[in-house]
Homo-oligomer: A and B are copies of this chain.
Amino acid sequence: MKHYYKLDEWNIIEQGFNADNNEISESIFSLGNGYMGQRANFEEDYSGTSLQGNYIAGVYYPDKTRVGWWKNGYPEYFAKVLNSTNWIGINIKINDISLDLAKCSVKQFERVLNMKQGYLQRSFVAVLSNGNEIEVNSKRFISMKRGEIGTIKYSIKPLNFKGKLEITPYLDGDVMNSDSNYDEKFWDEISSEVKPYEGYMMLKTKKLDFHICTYMTYEITKNGEIIKPIAEFKQSEKYISNNVLVHCNENDEVVIYKYVANTSSRYYEKDELIGITKKLCSKAKMDGFETLLKEQADAWEEKWKESDIVIDGDIPAQQGIRFNIFQLNQTYTGEDYRLNIGPKGFTGEKYGGSTYWDTEAYCIPFYLSTSQEKVSKNLLLYRYKQLDKAIENAEKLGFTNGAALYPMVTMNGEECHNEWEITFEEIHRNGAIAYANYNYVNYTGDKSCLGEFSFEVLTAISRFWAQRATFSKSKNKYVILGVTGPNEYENNVNNNWYTNKIACWTLKYTIEVLNYLSQNEPERLSELKKKLNFKDSEIITWNNIIENMYYPCDEELGIFLQQDGYMDKEQILVSELDKKHLPINQNWSWDRILRSCFIKQADVLQGIYLFEGEYDTDTIKRNFDFYEPRTVHESSLSPCIHTILATKIGNYDKAYEMYLRTSRLDLDNYNNDTKDGCHSTSMAGTWMAVVHGFGGLRVCDNKLILNPFIPKHWRSCSFKITFRGALLNIKFNDSILQIQNENDISVNLSIYNSDHTLNGNALLEIPIQ
């Protein structure tokens, strides 16, 4: 795999202007602060290929569903991540010619994402059609400290002429979603005002009544001195701009500092929006670009202190993991339980919705280790607040008595997705949501959530499983029919091992929580039982299902079977396929994929990863060695799980191969789809690959176990984990070191390679802070 971006430990660097790669770079160089975000579109007009994207967290649109053939149960609407006001715009004209990189000759183009300090920088020299040559330097960021603020410093220097320079900062609300189902525009203007040097625009979504307000102001300097040229202004529907004319000589440097505030009715009263936005924007301008930039660097320093992973001796691996951590921190900060982590974060609009099972299965472990526990707790609360909708959703599918099926894709708790094989059948997601509660308790030792909300969520999910499992007379066992497992290259299968496993696990854990509450919070429990109309007979049913669940397996091979009939398929290995067939999702028709033995992503192995404690290494190895050669990893969520299990069974080459694939998925555009946006949620999987894989961290029954084993060519790998109340077991060369922590604690772990041992090749240093 060739590296398009320059290898660097702290920066992503693109050198030379490559229009064909522009949409990919727009994704890679995205900025965000958890509250809003944007793709790396250019400030000035660009007529080449580009996917415009500015997003405000939680502001979405219920786009009417599009299908070829309607099936009962499909949702009427699909919540789309909403492209909103383009606030970065600064058009430039030089001697009446527009600056447009698609229409001039571009030299010395460089784009840098400074991950350490959290800004995007771009510089180039453009030669216009009239021969005028200018140098441009722009720097922008979205403030981690002031959620609503974005700032741009844009400098222009004529290199070989003197003349007119026109600068047009603007706000443009006349934007579309490129994935709109019916080419509709989603915004109406409420009001706008523009005058010299400032202006605002307030828009409202055509449905759901979300208001957003954007305020802009700016300042212009010439050779470092503030100047105040006359500003003409323009206003049309969903558009405001200023236009200033500056006369300059060769080598004069003209700089525009643009300050923008974006607010939404999710956080402020509608009638206060304009006033507040103006105030925030003015304050930003008053404090000035350099102050804001300093704040930004400080804020990122804090983030990195908590979440950085330092890999010494492997720059691609180092750059990959930092890029992943950087994007995760840009996407979600955990302060608002109504927000979640979209599969593309703020880097694109594809897939819509903001919440998939990725959150529980991949992101929560990351935030549990690298953030205060309230961050993960907010993610749990998000689902708890949507429990009613999940119950409604299950009712639509024929379930009763408070059974809940959480949606596959959602924004507000309602199902968005509309492929029956996914929407209705990929029910294992329910299990991941249950598991996240367990994971949280395990990591934090905080059991207050059990009575507070977990028991309600768990009961509703368990009721779903109890109704969804049916008794097969012919097998004399409970079965779960017609599902899609994590491997989406199978649909409508019977007895997906992973689904059956996580269903029974949920039932067991719910009973465990019930027993805990019964012993520790009996009053709360009886309150809850009443609220939920909970009958003790339900426990009998659940135990019956737990004891009599059917799990497909192949005795001869000693493996769990992905589903009934898997061994009837033609057994071919990925390595036996001619390369021209890969990726199969771009080369094979859907039916051919379905009836092949090829696996999109960890499925049985996903279960083994979650319940690793139940299986001995030989069992894990047999399953890994069977399934890994049949897995095409065409989901971004796959290689990280394989990394982790590969380290567990000592298959280090495979682990490293899979690690590069997960950590540099977007940087190296492995799946040829980065232009749609980055794979934000799978980035948490990359973190897991390092910490759970090479670091060997396991969390099991409120114990942390570390069993590190880093790649041979890494000199060291260091990271910090935060946990509470857990017992830390560090296993190294067969010795076990135990540390008991009573309170919140952070541990910096550094794993050093000692070249000479084959097993336990890591030295561990643990300075407890």
Interface residues of A (CB under 8 A from B): 65-69, 71-73, 396-398, 418-420, 424-425, 470-475, 479, 481-482, 491-494, 564-565, 567-571, 585-595
Could you tell me if A472 and B589 are in contact, using CB atoms closer than 8 angstroms? no
Which B residues are in CB contact (< 8 Å) with A471? Answer: 570
Could you tell me the distance in whole angstroms from the C-beta of A673 to the nearest C-beta in chain B? 13
Could you tell me if B472 and A567 are in contact, using CB atoms closer than 8 angstroms? yes
- Name A567's closest neighbour in chain B (CB-CB): B474
- Name A593's closest neighbour in chain B (CB-CB): B72
Contacts A482-B595, A568-B494 given; does A590 touch B72 at CB 8 Å: yes
Taken together as a complex, chains A and B put the C-alpha atoms of A565 and B472 apart, in Å, by 10
- Name A419's closest neighbour in chain B (CB-CB): B69
Contacts A565-B481, A565-B564 given; does A588 touch B72 at CB 8 Å: yes
5 interchain residue pairs of minimum CB distance? A73-B589, A424-B591, A482-B595, A71-B590, A472-B568
Contacts A482-B591, A594-B492 given; does A473 touch B567 at CB 8 Å: yes
Contacts A474-B568, A481-B595 given; does A68 touch B68 at CB 8 Å: yes
Could you tell me the distance in whole angstroms from the C-beta of A134 to the nearest C-beta in chain B? 43
Could you tell me the distance in whole angstroms from the C-beta of A67 to the nearest C-beta in chain B? 4
Which B residues are in CB contact (< 8 Å) with A418? Answer: 68-69
Which B residues are in CB contact (< 8 Å) with A591? Answer: 73, 397, 420, 424-425, 482
- Name A424's closest neighbour in chain B (CB-CB): B591
A-B contact pairs, 15 of them (CB 8 A): A67-B68, A68-B419, A72-B588, A72-B590, A72-B593, A397-B589, A398-B592, A420-B591, A470-B570, A472-B567, A473-B571, A481-B569, A492-B493, A494-B565, A494-B568
Taken together as a complex, chains A and B put the C-alpha atoms of A662 and B363 apart, in Å, by 56
- Name A470's closest neighbour in chain B (CB-CB): B570
Which B residues are in CB contact (< 8 Å) with A565? Answer: 481, 494, 564-565
Could you tell me if B590 and A420 are in contact, using CB atoms closer than 8 angstroms? yes
Which B residues are in CB contact (< 8 Å) with A472? Answer: 567-569
Contacts A591-B420, A591-B424 given; does A481 touch B585 at CB 8 Å: no
Could you tell me if B470 and A72 are in contact, using CB atoms closer than 8 angstroms? no
Taken together as a complex, chains A and B put the C-alpha atoms of A712 and B764 apart, in Å, by 91
Taken together as a complex, chains A and B put the C-alpha atoms of A72 and B581 apart, in Å, by 13
- Name A591's closest neighbour in chain B (CB-CB): B424
Which B residues are in CB contact (< 8 Å) with A567? Answer: 472-474
Could you tell me if B568 and A481 are in contact, using CB atoms closer than 8 angstroms? yes
Contacts A565-B565, A569-B470 given; does A589 touch B494 at CB 8 Å: no
Taken together as a complex, chains A and B put the C-alpha atoms of A564 and B494 apart, in Å, by 10
Taken together as a complex, chains A and B put the C-alpha atoms of A72 and B588 apart, in Å, by 7
Which B residues are in CB contact (< 8 Å) with A593? Answer: 72
Could you tell me if B396 and A589 are in contact, using CB atoms closer than 8 angstroms? yes
Which B residues are in CB contact (< 8 Å) with A424? Answer: 589-591
Which B residues are in CB contact (< 8 Å) with A588? Answer: 72, 398
| Most chain B CB inside 10 Å of its own CB: which residue of A418, A491, A493, A565 | A565
Taken together as a complex, chains A and B put the C-alpha atoms of A420 and B593 apart, in Å, by 11
- Name A399's closest neighbour in chain B (CB-CB): B592
Taken together as a complex, chains A and B put the C-alpha atoms of A471 and B567 apart, in Å, by 11
Which B residues are in CB contact (< 8 Å) with A67? Answer: 66-68
- Name A427's closest neighbour in chain B (CB-CB): B591
Could you tell me if A492 and B494 are in contact, using CB atoms closer than 8 angstroms? no
| Most chain B CB inside 10 Å of its own CB: which residue of A65, A73, A586 | A73
Taken together as a complex, chains A and B put the C-alpha atoms of A471 and B594 apart, in Å, by 16
- Name A570's closest neighbour in chain B (CB-CB): B470
Taken together as a complex, chains A and B put the C-alpha atoms of A491 and B594 apart, in Å, by 12
Task: Contacts A482-B594, A492-B594 known; list 10 others, CB within 8 Å.
Answer: A66-B66, A72-B589, A73-B592, A396-B589, A398-B592, A420-B591, A425-B591, A472-B568, A474-B567, A482-B595
- Residue from the list B68, B474, B492, B564 in contact with A65, Cβ < 8 A: B68
Could you tell me the distance in whole angstroms from the C-beta of A569 to the nearest C-beta in chain B? 6
Which B residues are in CB contact (< 8 Å) with A491? Answer: 491-492
Which B residues are in CB contact (< 8 Å) with A474? Answer: 567-568
Taken together as a complex, chains A and B put the C-alpha atoms of A585 and B72 apart, in Å, by 7
Which B residues are in CB contact (< 8 Å) with A73? Answer: 589-592
Taken together as a complex, chains A and B put the C-alpha atoms of A594 and B483 apart, in Å, by 10
Taken together as a complex, chains A and B put the C-alpha atoms of A474 and B566 apart, in Å, by 10
Which B residues are in CB contact (< 8 Å) with A586? Answer: 72
Could you tell me the distance in whole angstroms from the C-beta of A421 to the nearest C-beta in chain B? 8
Taken together as a complex, chains A and B put the C-alpha atoms of A491 and B424 apart, in Å, by 14
Contacts A67-B68, A68-B67, A418-B68 given; does A397 touch B592 at CB 8 Å: yes
Could you tell me the distance in whole angstroms from the C-beta of A154 to the nearest C-beta in chain B? 39
Which B residues are in CB contact (< 8 Å) with A571? Answer: 473
Taken together as a complex, chains A and B put the C-alpha atoms of A492 and B592 apart, in Å, by 11
